[in-house]
Amino acid sequence: MKALVIGNKTSHLIDGLGFIQVLASELGESIEAYGLLYGNQVEEVKGFTKIFSMPDASPEAVANTVSKVIEKVTLEIVVGPAEKNGTEILSRVASVNNMPMITEVSGISKAGDTTYLERAIMGGRATALYGFKTPIAVTVPAKKFKVSDAEATPEFEELQVIDGVTKVVEVLPKEKGAVDLEAAEIIVGVGRGFKAKDDLAMAFELAELLSGEVGCSRPVAADFKWLGEDRWIGISGKKIRGKLYIAVGISGAPQHIMAASDTKVIVAVNKDKNAPIFTFSDYGVVADLYQFLPVFIKKLKEKKGL
Amino acid sequence: MDIAVLVKASLDVNMIKADSEGRILFDSIPLAISEYDRNAVAEAVRIKGELGGKVVAFSVLTWGPVDKRAREIENVMREALALGADEAHVVVDDTILPGDVSVTAEVLSNLIKKTGDFGLILAGEGSMDMMSAQLPVRIAYKLGYPVATFARKIEVINGAVKVTRDLEDVLQVVELPLPAVVSVTGEINQPRLPTLLQIRKSFAKPYKAYTISEIGMDAPEKLFPFDDIKLVTVSRKNMIIEGENLEEIAEKLIDKLIEEGVVRV
Ligand SMILES: Cc1cc2nc3c(=O)[nH]c(=O)nc-3n(C[C@H](O)[C@H](O)[C@H](O)COP(=O)(O)OP(=O)(O)OC[C@H]3O[C@@H](n4cnc5c(N)ncnc54)[C@H](O)[C@@H]3O)c2cc1C
């Protein structure tokens, strides 16, 4: 199968190649893979026949340039990173070339003679299956499909950017956090049940007592900016898979809690006994967090002899 | 400048129902306004406040059965009207169910073209149910308009729109000529719940439902329909810790966590 993998980081090319390899082995086909890296230094990634490069550009210009490559090399699959820019670029490529597109493929499965591409829908409560066909555009999450050793050594080619009407006028940095929630064993999650940023101190104290980290729901990070986006748990944030998740003042929207489904034990603290979070948790405490957390912290300290 | 806003009557993901074998009972899941489309309506109303014009909400029904859903999509659009849209136009048609993103884009772009001239078309970043985040781009290409996605800030200046895109690592500010399509994130504004008065007023605003033949179309071929949808099963203990007082509850919870081997003291 002839595939093009695009991205602005070398890791995007590797993630995409991993997907192509898994899919090709499922279908019993050989691979002819092309890469396209924009806005970054090209590195050699084994497994690609050729890697195109171009300077950083608007999603429109990247998509225009990709479509030009598609004209030259008849491609069956175009793959990009399941990030916001990747989603926009691939949606554009799919629109121009009248291709179907799978946003954020989560798996490849087989039933009978049909190979299916899977993706999470409904906030993660369900999986949709699409019978694989070509041509197709697909976005792929980081590190989902393991890349295996490959022989091919790529040639390199620089591409001329094909501009569009979108002008990039400014790029502003975003504050970067350093918390790795995906590797944390114990996480205390905070949600809109907290009334002020200062009140999160209770959650940090609890997390420290448990040697864990603090995570949060989307509004706490993205809306209120009380915490960095590195602490945002959910389908559009981080997936967590530790041994304990304590969700405090979080309602339990599927887009949040389904990203914690690989956690061993989930505890919920919420003052509303009908909050959906209780159906997604092992142990529930129906209480006002402002009353419960101080008591919980005190008791934990007692047990620990502190 | 008139503004179009795309609103989806989405399956309410907080109300998913399944039978004992884990088959999803789609027809029993209610439709609700897709979470981030409320932000799109609120943003359209804000821009209208600055520039004048009207805000028209558009939708295409994507889940059947039609006889039951026709009322539900109207309720969703009444919410958009209560949030400040001036009129609503929808397509309700059996032949395109369940929805397919390219068909929805085709139908919506025709409906928009037929209804008026819009300087700006706003939508939520992705729908609550299908979450594919492709629709705004597909519509833009069908209409031949430029598009920007994941906006956390929109400024309309001199026939152009400046959009601050909220990307994972950076904020990217782009400028596009109007007319343009822009999808907004849930963080662009904080839509207020409509007041009772706004809800009452929404019933006096124009609401029109069409079939696809009424907007001069034949059912377009689906580009990529799903073959199956499976429930992701969640099995948890669902035990509520009870006690005389919070001290007792806290102690019982700590004991449980020790028993589970997830906390050590
Ligand atoms: C496409 C899409 C993607 C999304 N992605 C994400 C994502 O990645 N992550 C995410 O988190 N969300 C995501 N969301 C948003 C999600 O739907 C919810 O809006 C969000 O998770 C709600 O956050 P919350 O639970 O903190 O707030 P709320 O839903 O407002 O819940 C607050 C809870 O706190 C409780 N509470 C209030 N006061 C107290 C108190 N004193 N003591 C105890 N409890 C109290 C309330 O009973 C309530 O249950 C997404 C939505 C969409 C549509």
Residues B56, B148 within the same domain: yes
Query: pLDDT 10s per residue in chain B (265 long)?
Result: 999 999 999 999 999 999 999 899 999 999 999 999 999 999 999 999 999 999 999 999 999 999 999 999 999 999 999 999 999 999 999 999 999 999 999 999 999 999 999 999 999 999 999 999 999 999 999 999 999 999 999 999 999 999 999 999 999 999 999 999 999 999 999 999 999 999 999 999 999 999 999 999 998 999 999 999 999 999 999 999 999 999 999 999 999 999 999 999 8
**In this structure, is residue B245 part of a structural domain?**
yes
pLDDT for res A306: 84
Question: Does some domain include residue B167?
Answer: yes
- Tell me which chain A residue has its CA closest to the CA of residue B10: A122
Residue A253 Cβ < 6 Å to ligand 1: yes
pLDDT of residue B17: 94
Half-sphere exposure of A261 (CA within 13 A, CB side): 17
Minimal C-alpha gap between A156 and chain B (Å): 27
Q: List Cβ neighbours of A72 (8 Å cut-off, separation of 6 or more).
A: none
Residues recorded for chain A? 306
A228 touches chain B (CB under 8 A): no
Instruction: Examine the domain organization and report whether B48 and B144 are in the same domain.
Output: yes
> Which residue numbers in chain A have pLDDT < 70?
none
∠ at Cα B103 (B100, B105), nearest 5°?
Answer: 105
User: Can you give the pTM of this predicted structure?
Assistant: 0.95
Beta bridge partners of B16: none
Instruction: Please check whether the domain covering A2-158 is classified as CATH 3.40.50.11720.
Output: no
The letter for the amino acid at B113 is K
Closest Cα to atom 25, ligand 1: which residue? A250
Nearest-angstrom CA–CA distance, B124 and B150? 8
> Of all protein residues, whose CA lies closest to atom 27 belonging to ligand 1?
A192
CA B125, A231, A128: angle at the middle one, nearest 5? Answer: 45
Report the alpha-carbon distance of residue B265 to residue B258 in Å, rounded: 8
SS (H, E, C) chain A: CEEEEEECCHHHHHHHHHHHHHHHHHHCCCCEEEEEEECCCCCCCCCEEEEEEECCCCHHHHHHHHHHHHHHCCCCEEEEECCHHHHHHHHHHHHHCCCCEECCEEEEEEECCEEEEEEEEHHHCEEEEEECCCCEEEEECCCCCCCCCCCCCCEEEECCCCCCCCEEEEEEECCCCCCCHHHCCEEEEECCCCCCHHHHHHHHHHHHHCCCEEEECHHHHHHCCCCCHHHEECCCCECCCCCEEEEECCCCCHHHHHHHCCCCEEEEEECCCCCHHHHHCCEEEECCHHHHHHHHHHHHHHHCCC
My answer on whether B201 and B153 are in the same domain is yes
A142 touches chain B (CB under 8 A): no
Chain B nearest-CA residue for A289: B246
Q: Do A264 and B260 touch (CB under 8 A)?
A: yes
Give yes or no for A95 touching B (CB within 8 A).
Answer: yes
Whether B43 is in a domain gets the answer yes
Say if residue B153 is in the same domain as residue B119: yes
A87/B260 Cβ within 8 A: no
Alpha-carbon distance values, A98 to A50, B72, B141 (Å): 25, 31, 10
Is B96 a member of any domain?
A: yes
In a domain, B227, yes or no: no
Residue B230 lies in a domain: no
A103 → chain B, closest CA residue: B132
Encoded tokens for A22: 């898994």
CB-ligand 1 contact for A120 (6 Å cutoff): no
Is A289 a pocket residue for ligand 1 (Cβ < 6 Å)? yes
What is the number of structural domains in chain B? 2
Contacts of B102 in chain A (CB under 8 A): 98, 100
Quick check: A289 and A250 in contact, CB under 8 A? no
Q: Which residue CA neighbors atom 51 of ligand 1 most closely?
A: A255
| Residue B205 shares a structural domain with residue B243 | no
User: How many other C-beta atoms are found inside a 10 Å radius of the C-beta of residue B203?
Assistant: 10
First vs last C-alpha separation in chain B: 64
* CATH number reported for the structural domain that contains residue B18 in this entry: 3.40.50.620
pLDDT tens readout for residues B163-220: 999 999 999 999 999 999 999 999 999 999 999 999 999 999 999 999 999 999 998 9
| pLDDT attached to residue B81 | 98
Question: Are B198 and B239 in a shared domain?
Answer: no
Domain ranges of chain A: 2-158, 181-304
Interface confidence (ipTM) of the complex: 0.96
Cα of B256 to nearest chain A Cα, Å: 8
At A151-187, the pLDDT tens digits run 899 999 999 999 999 999 999 999 888 899 999 999 9
- C-alpha span between A203 and A230 (Å, rounded): 16
Cβ proximity of B22 and B45 under 8 Å: no
CB contact under 8 A, B236 and A279: yes
B139 and B262 together in one domain: no
Contact A98 B223 (CB under 8 A): yes
Contact A168 B174 (CB under 8 A): yes
Question: CB distance from A278 to chain B under 8 Å?
Answer: yes
Ligand 1 atom closest to Cα of residue B131: 1
Q: In chain B, which among 46-65 make CB contacts under 8 A with chain A?
A: none
**Does B28 contact A at CB distance below 8 Å?**
no
The answer on B245 and B183 residing in a single domain is no
B154 shares its domain with B42: yes
Instruction: Judge whether B138 is closer than 8 Å to chain A, CB to CB.
Output: yes
- Mutate: best of B253, B254, B264, partner A, most A CBs <10 A: B253
What CA–CA distance (Å, rounded) separates B61 from B73? 7
What is the least distance, in Å, from the CA of A124 to any CA of chain B? 7
**Tokens encoding A93:** 């490529």
In what side-by-side order are the strands of the sheet with B55-60?
Answer: A167-173, B170-177, B160-166, B147-157, B180-184, B120-124, B3-6, B55-60, B87-91, B207-210
Q: What CATH number does the domain located at A181-304 have? A: 3.40.50.1220
Tell me what pLDDT residue A278 has: 98
- Comparing alpha-carbon positions, the chain A residue that sits nearest to B234 is A280
Print the domain residue range for B167: 3-215
Q: Give yes or no: residues B152 and B247 share one domain.
A: no
- In a mutagenesis test of the A interface, which of B224, B235, B251 is the best target, namely the one with the most A β-carbons within 10 Å? B224
List all residues 6 or more positions away from A6 whose beta carbon is below 8 Å from its beta carbon. A12, A16, A35, A36, A37, A38, A62, A66, A78, A79, A80, A86, A89, A90
Which residue on chain B is closest to A260 by alpha carbon?
B234
The residue contributing the CA closest to ligand 1 atom 9 is A234
Instruction: Render chain B in DSSP notation, one character per residue.
Output: --EEEE--EEE-GGG--B-TT--B-GGGSPEEE-HHHHHHHHHHHHHHHHH---EEEEEE--SS-HHHHHHHHHHHHHHHHHTT-SEEEEE--GGGPSP-HHHHHHHHHHHHHHH---SEEEEESS-TTT----HHHHHHHHHT--EEEEEEEEEEETTEEEEEEE-SSEEEEEEEESSEEEEE-TTS--PPPPPHHHHHHHTTS-EEEE-TGGGT-PPPPPSS--SEEEEPP-----EEP--SSHHHHHHHHHHHHHHTTS---
